[in-house]
Amino acid sequence: MKILLTGGAGFIGSHVAQAYLDQGHEVVVVDDLSTGYAHNVDPRAKLYKIDVRDAQLSEIFASEQPDIVNHHAAQISIPISLKDPCHDADVNVMGFINILECCRKYQVRKVIYISSGGAIYGEAEEYPTTENYRPAPLSVYAINKMCGEQYLQAYRHHYGIDYTVLRYANVYGPRQVPYGEAGVVAIFIEKLLQGLIPTVYAYSDEPEGMIRDYVYVADVVRANVLALTEGNNDCFNIGTCVETTTLQLYNAICWQLGLDVPPHRGEARPGDLRRSMLDCSKAFKVLGWSPIYNLVDGLKQTIIYFKEKGIEK
């Protein structure tokens, strides 16, 4: 299969590209390198440095004729989405419409769309949260991710383009950047390796910090491989259904580094969701997917990587 992968120079997308290539697929990466890096792109893939909003994207689709599009490119920062909502909508909605229009014109069979289970449900009352829970996004980023899901339904209805939505929990691992949804993992590791003391942000009534569902990137990659052939016209939570507070995460990283340093404490930032944890039983039933890595094993791999390569700035 030929797969056009947007955001393939970024943290998660670059791992997905490698897995597709290892399976013998042809991969074309579309990335403007705004937060990604050319050196993340496997040399077996072809890289086009272009913005997903660019009208010239159509020419790439015309010459490459991909069978499947996997859409990882995005403005990924929740704080930036709140500071500059027009930019977030421009990249995450208009950019995605540009992609969908190319899919329609050049008969792409299927789109794999990356959404956020960590953001779109808001402060969910159902916990762990299933895909049936009605999303109640609280950030501009989450609204626009949800909007993309709805465009997929419309393009399926009108033009017959299949899709699979993967709603990621908080993804961490090698090549992670500090500004995404699980950026705290990279920030804690980097600071502790430099001998600095990180800050654990918390609401005053929940001193252990925010509850999150941390999923290791290799597990997320397997969901993208399965989605090539399974789970058409459906959406799936991709997480671990394990809750971890910010303080537990901090302690787990300190333990692996052999450190015993209490963190600085700070007030939760406005907009920080208090808790998020995903029920992923649907991905197991339909895709045959479940996570393999627990937090200890995933952090171990991540720390090995950061010790060797450091964090990208």
Ligand X SMILES: NC(=O)c1ccc[n+]([C@@H]2O[C@H](COP(=O)([O-])OP(=O)(O)OC[C@H]3O[C@@H](n4cnc5c(N)ncnc54)[C@H](O)[C@@H]3O)[C@@H](O)[C@H]2O)c1
CA–CA gap between residue 167 and residue 146 (Å, rounded): 10
What is the nearest approach in angstroms of ligand X to the Cβ of residue 205? Answer: 26
What is the nearest approach in angstroms of ligand X to the Cβ of residue 261? Answer: 25
Measured in degrees and rounded to the nearest 5, phi and psi for residue 282 equal: -65, -40
Report yes or no: 40 and 175 within 8 Å, Cβ to Cβ. yes
Assess whether 141 carries a catalytic annotation.
Answer: yes
What is the nearest approach in angstroms of ligand X to the Cβ of residue 166? Answer: 8
Nearer to ligand X, 69 or 260 (CB): 69
Selected catalytic residue, list 20, 121, 133, 141: 141
Q: Are strands 110-116 and 162-168 parallel, antiparallel or unpaired?
A: parallel
Nearer to ligand X, 130 or 197 (CB): 130
CA–CA gap between residue 172 and residue 180 (Å, rounded): 9
What is the nearest approach in angstroms of ligand X to the Cβ of residue 25? Answer: 19
φ/ψ region of 121 (left if φ > 0, alpha if ψ in -120 to 50, else beta) reads alpha
What is the nearest approach in angstroms of ligand X to the Cβ of residue 12? Answer: 4
Counting beta carbons within 10 angstroms of the beta carbon of residue 2, is it exposed (0 to 12), middle (13 to 18) or buried (19 or more)?
middle
298, two tokens: 């995933």
Nearer to ligand X, 59 or 259 (CB): 59
Nearer to ligand X, 108 or 146 (CB): 146
Nearer to ligand X, 36 or 291 (CB): 36
What is the nearest approach in angstroms of ligand X to the Cβ of residue 175? Answer: 7
Report yes or no: 280 and 218 within 8 Å, Cβ to Cβ. no
**Interface residues toward ligand X, by CB under 6 A:** 6-7, 9-13, 31-36, 51-53, 72-76, 91, 95, 114, 116, 118, 168, 170-171, 177, 180-182
Extended strands (E) in the chain: 2-6, 26-31, 46-49, 68-71, 110-116, 162-168, 170-172, 199-202, 211-212, 214-216, 234-238, 244-245, 264-267
67, two tokens: 């069978």
Report yes or no: 244 and 212 within 8 Å, Cβ to Cβ. yes
Nearer to ligand X, 39 or 264 (CB): 39
CA atoms within 13 A on the CB side of 104: 14
Longest Cα separation, the chain: 58
User: Would you please indicate which residues are annotated as catalytic (active-site) residues?
Assistant: 141
